[in-house]
Structure 1
Amino acid sequence: MVLSMTGYGKAVVTYKEKKINVEIKSLNSKALDLSTRIAPLYREKEMEIRRTIAKTVIRGKVDFAIWIEKDTAVDATPINAALVEDYYRQIKDIAAKTGIPEPADWFSTLLRLPDVTTKTDVEELDDEEWEAAKAAIDEAIQHLIEFRTQEGAALEKKFNEKVDNIERLLHSIEPYEKERVPKIREQIVKGLEQIPGVEYDKNRLEQELIYYIEKLDISEEKQRLTNHLKYFRETMKETGHGIGKKLGFIAQEMGREINTTGSKSNNAEMQNIVVKMKDELEQIKEQVLNAL
């Protein structure tokens, strides 16, 4: 089954007064290219988070973010009342001794002074909260996988359509392939007859024609291309990872056979069909870059 590298997943878990938000999205890439934005509280767990993502996501350009939303009332920075009172007394004493006028707006003056509104408590991550965060991470990754599965089903449908088109076009070559042998013979003989005073050995000409026509034979290319199309379909049904790369290699082999068929065609109708096959194959190659 084909999985896409394009995906998106999000999860929100509530823990006490916090909301733990996790978001993960991915695009196609040759390898795993992971960038993270992690809330300071969870940075000590970054390596564990990376291992979890790498184990499941496997490949792609992945952006991961985890952040915390808190109740603003709970998270408000407290004012150090004792320090405000101390600053107030000191300023009044200095004003009395020096004659400098006291501030007109005491609150704006006092609240700007050092450490009045500084949050001094250091938050530590406990096991219970980390379990909640891990649950959010796992849920977001699961949503990403579900998204990739849906996109992969759409890719598989597209691939089957294109492979069917190439197979149909390959079969449509046969009538023109059978017609070209007598046409080639007729053209060569006619060309020789138009040259005045030329005599030729008909037996030798027949031998040369057979040799020439054998060089233009595309039976092997058709058989190999048919096998590649079959293998492409079988590979799409496989389970596990790395199917995208395998499909890419098969598409390259399909391209070689189509190109060789085109170079041997020596027939306008056949070459037109080959161009159409190349167009179908290019669409496969573009989309296979998104397959995991």
Structure 2
Amino acid sequence: MTGVYETEPTGVHEVEGPGAAAPGDPQLSSHATHFTLPCDGEVLSCVTVRPVIPAPAPLAVLVLHGAGNGDKQSPAVLAAAFADRGHHALAFDFSGHGDSTGTLGGLSLRRRFEQARTVVDTCLPTDAPLVLVGFSMSGQTVADLAAHYRNRLAAIGLGAPAVYAAQAWPVAFDAGFTGIIRTPDSWRKSPALDVFRELPEGVRAVLATPAVDAVIPPAVTEAVDEALGASRAEYVRVVLPEADHRLSLWFASEAKAREGFVDVLLGGGGRV
């Protein structure tokens, strides 16, 4: 099933604090806990947001930031929106990003997957269906995780996603990665596209993109769209006319767009 719509323009150490309040609800509906997690030879900075009142069928949600100067701050705002609907959500800084240790050059797609997998296995409820949300480079990471957690996958949300050639997966970002991804059309045989194409019935998939993306080539977005559309998943395409590539920041600052994205990813659901 496929749908398309265009929006109207518009640990080691824990510190607890309030999450975002649900729209129209004067009471706090979630609580955020900041903590660190030793992982992959690094110390990852994480924030988990738990609902005060869980949904009848709560989900476990992981929200992943993109590359460059990306960090968990804007994904944490989106995580709070899921928690406000009764779901346990988490965001973290990959190594070399934000408050985590490590260097960006020492990171790789493989290490991103391994770090995210450790966070899921260690910090999210193991008995809850899994929702994976990723922006930009984390589109690839969502695909890697979706293949690994296929039997517990409930939904994936992709924000202006990138996908990469299999050869790039193990290569550190400062050790030849750029040369591989700059090879023309190297992404066309990305295993991520196969994962998206093979999403099973019962999974919900949402692809959110700006009307014009100055970072991701249109052919990449079209390939992701075609793969998701060919799957058995319930697929929805979201176009955000006023947004740019940095959709994580857009959702963090635009409440209406953020709530709409969460609603469509949850299938119009949330806490009943």
TM-score normalised per structure 1: 0.19
Judging by fraction of residues, say which structure has more strand. Answer: 2
Q: Which has the higher contact order (CA 8 A, sep 6+)?
A: 1
Normalized per residue, which structure has more helix? Answer: 1
**TM-score, normalization by structure 2:** 0.20
Greater Rg over alpha carbons, structure: 1
